[in-house]
Amino acid sequence: MSEDYNPVSMDKLVSLCKRRGLIFQSSEIYGGINGFWDYGPYGVALRRAVEQLWWRHMVEDRENVEGLDSTIICHPRVWEASGHLEQFSDAMVDCRQCKKRYRLDQLDNPDLCPDCGAGEMTAPREFNLMMKTFVGPVFDEDHAAYLRAETCQPIFVNYELVRNASRQKLPFGIAQIGKAFRNEINPRFFTFRSREFVQMEMEFFCRDDEAMQWYDYWREQRWRFYTELLGVPADRLRIQDHENLAHYARAALDIEFAFPFGWGEIEGVHHRGTWDLTRHEEYSGRDMRYLDQESGERFHPTVVETSCGLDRICLMLLANGYAEDLAETKKAGKQEDVRVVLRLPPRVAPVQAAVLPLSRKLAVPARALFDQIRRRLRVEYDETGSIGKRYRRQDEIGTPYCITYDFDSENDHSVTIRHRDRMSQERVAVSRVAAWLEEKITG
């Protein structure tokens, strides 16, 4: 990692997210609820932009990947077949003195409470992470159901229906974006480990003898997504190959980012073998084999999975983009001040350009320009406060370009465009602004 990298503190990042309407704790007026987060106006825009970029990269730009949107609640047998009801658990312990609860694998010393430093810890016990609910008017075990713990299982359940409808042949994939729920013992690190989150997953079905080639292919594709499409510096990412594999896996890796709290997973690529399809065949009684029309051969496809967390990717972009620098100011007796800026990639920035008339007297032509650009990009109009304060507001939400319509614009039919990162300015003809921005943002 480069020597000049200085990660932002989580306190500063959380404060900015709340102040600028990016992310804040759910139900805050009632004291909040741990592990649940709400996305404000700018946070929603960021999340939607990342989601749409992923969908285009993984589905729309490929002929061999189809989309799916499944329900949050599945038949309970789905989770029996997947092993979640039996094995999806963490070992937890409690401090007998302060009553704090911890995951055992997150403690350096399992016999000493890290909070009070004196309490004796209880013996470890298993805690299932599935969130339980009930379907129908009777709250008994016959009507019990579970919020899905991952989005991949419905893909396996619907694999044959999707294949038939899309007329796909091996190899092909099925992708899904959706909510998942895990009753985490100890949610932490802001949105990194939450109880409700969004997953973006793709299951790629192929022949077993081709699986490792596809595993390597998707490993490279997912690395490119972060380094090329999202512009994350390669030295702030790393690939960690799993040494201890799940019983059904033949290979697995994590793509990790250097968060302020340390390295954390943002994506997993897994060679899952045929385990999922054979389990669902066993529990449902349905034949899950693929029929090769040319050879007449029937077999269970091997699956290569890519799985990432949308919330973690957004947190990575915020942590990677946060910066403080010294900027010139015209305030009397003060030569410079600290500028807080989010250097978000322009293609996913909540606001891609802001139109800022120098005076409210210029509102009519400035709004005409705003209306012209907003048909093609995410644009904001702001005429409140000094131009310096408006620049600062846009810097803090990550707007890459600010367009100032001034009194000279009436004569030369041009505007001044300020670059967020370089703090430089250039004059661009009003008639070219939309095309100029599109070229800069999307290339």
Question: What is the predicted pLDDT for the residue at 71?
Answer: 95
Same domain, 222 and 283: yes
Three-state SS string over 388-417 comes to HHHHHHHHHHCCCEEEEECCCHHHHCEEEE
Question: What is the predicted pLDDT for the residue at 117?
Answer: 75
The 3-state DSSP class for residue 240 equals strand
Task: Decide: residue 29, CB within 10 A, 0-12 exposed, 13-18 middle, 19+ buried.
Answer: exposed
Same domain, 398 and 298: no
- Count of C-beta atoms within a 10 Å radius of residue 317: 25
Three-state SS string over 295-337 comes to CCCEECCEEEEEEEEHHHHHHHHHHHHEEEEEEECCCCCCCEE
In a domain, 216, yes or no: yes
In a domain, 22, yes or no: no
Find, among 195, 196, 200, the residue nearest to 68 by Cα.
200
In a domain, 1, yes or no: no
Same domain, 230 and 367: no
Task: Decide: residue 26, CB within 10 A, 0-12 exposed, 13-18 middle, 19+ buried.
Answer: middle
pTM of the model: 0.89
How far the first Cα of the chain sits from its last, in Å, is 28
* Residue that is last in its domain, among 296, 318, 340: 318
Same domain, 171 and 73: yes
pLDDT digits (tens, 9 = 90+) for 113-168: 887 877 788 877 766 688 888 999 988 888 989 999 999 999 999 999 999 999 99
In a domain, 202, yes or no: yes
* Residue that is last in its domain, among 267, 294, 318: 318
Per-residue pLDDT in tens (0 to 9) along the chain, 443 residues = 655 566 789 999 999 999 999 999 999 999 999 999 999 999 999 999 999 999 999 999 999 999 999 999 999 999 989 888 777 666 778 888 887 777 777 778 877 888 787 778 887 776 668 888 899 998 888 898 999 999 999 999 999 999 999 999 999 999 999 999 998 878 889 999 999 999 999 999 999 999 999 999 999 999 999 999 999 999 999 999 999 888 788 899 999 999 999 999 999 999 999 999 999 999 999 999 999 998 999 999 999 999 999 999 999 999 999 999 876 545 555 556 789 999 999 999 999 999 999 999 999 999 999 999 999 999 999 999 999 999 999 999 999 999 999 999 999 999 999 999 999 999 999 999 999 999 999 87
CB 356 within 8 A of CB 328: no
Give the domain range for residue 219.
45-77+139-318
Same domain, 369 and 283: no
Tokens of 53: 């970029």
**DSSP label of 183:** -
Same domain, 249 and 381: no
In a domain, 91, yes or no: no
- Count of C-beta atoms within a 10 Å radius of residue 419: 13
CATH of the domain at 161: 3.30.930.10
Q: How far is Cα 282 from Cα 280, in angstroms, rounded to an integer?
A: 5
Q: How far is Cα 324 from Cα 338, in angstroms, rounded to an integer?
A: 6
Amino acid at 58: M
Please give the C-alpha separations between residue 125 and each of 30, 94, 106, in angstroms, as whole numbers: 31, 10, 14
CB 49 within 8 A of CB 350: yes
Same domain, 271 and 164: yes
In a domain, 169, yes or no: yes
CATH of the domain at 423: 3.40.50.800
* Residue that is last in its domain, among 297, 318, 339: 318
Question: What is the predicted pLDDT for the residue at 60?
Answer: 97
The 3-state DSSP class for residue 85 equals helix
Same domain, 300 and 419: no
In a domain, 413, yes or no: yes
CB 257 within 8 A of CB 266: yes
Tell me the sheet residues that pair with 240: 254
CB 103 within 8 A of CB 300: no
Strand (E) or helix (H) holding 264: strand 262-273
Tell me the sheet residues that pair with 328: 336
Helix, strand, coil percentages (3-state) for the chain, rounded to 5, are 35, 30, 35
Question: What is the predicted pLDDT for the residue at 370?
Answer: 97
Count of structural domains within the chain: 2
Same domain, 378 and 236: no
Q: How far is Cα 53 from Cα 407, in angstroms, rounded to an integer?
A: 38
Q: Are strands 125-128 and 131-134 parallel, antiparallel or unpaired?
A: unpaired
Task: Decide: residue 341, CB within 10 A, 0-12 exposed, 13-18 middle, 19+ buried.
Answer: buried
Residues 6+ apart with CB under 8 A from 435: none
In a domain, 150, yes or no: yes
**DSSP label of 228:** I
Question: What is the predicted pLDDT for the residue at 90?
Answer: 66
